[in-house]
Amino acid sequence: MKSLSDYNIKFEGLKQGTHFYEFDVDNTFFEEFECFDFKDSAIAVGLEFEKQSTIMVLTFDFLGAITVPCDRCLDDVEVEVAGEEKLIVKFGNEEYDETDEILMLPIHEHELNVAKYIYEFINVNIPQKRTHDEDLCNQDVIDKLKEVAPVAPETESSKEIDVDPRWASLQGIKLNKNK
């Protein structure tokens, strides 16, 4: 993970106050984490690094896009990725169960690699549904899918479900409640 050393922030010599960093994230960054989910990615990450006497507050802002297969038609679709996440860094040698927002560093640490946090924050903010607008999907693929697995219209008989005889008596209660 040699290329991830570019994401090291040496805070030992920094003066107290706010400092700004910028990172460009692409496929080579994600490959370092063995993530090959994207055909293409370009995300700009801005980091506001606020050093105080006892803690550091890191605010990550990111905006960009990833290219992935559409969930509906499998053609490439560009999906916007944007977000803002905050990380608080405290110092101490005592045992502390880290949370998502608070990181405890040993007192003798002098630098912090933020690559892991950038990776996690971007992944958390990637939309779960990755599709074109319906009118932009590849209609040929959609038609083929309908041929292979046609959607049957819902009929009254398809609404009836075989009920386990042990539970059949409860159906009456349900029907009486609906009246």
- Give 126-148 pLDDT, tens digit per residue: 999 898 887 888 888 888 888 88
Asked whether 47 and 114 are in contact (CB, 8 A), the reply is yes
d(CA 88, CA 55): 7
> What does pTM read for this prediction?
0.75
pLDDT level of residue 1 (50, 70, 90 thresholds): very low
Q: Which helix (H) or strand (E) holds 32?
A: helix 27-32
Residues 56-69, buried b or exposed e (16+ Cβ, 10 A)? bebebebebbbebe
Q: Is 118 helix (H, G, I), strand (E, B) or coil?
A: helix
**Tens-place pLDDT, residues 47-58:** 999 999 889 999
Query: Residue 38: how many CB atoms within 10 A of its CB?
Result: 19
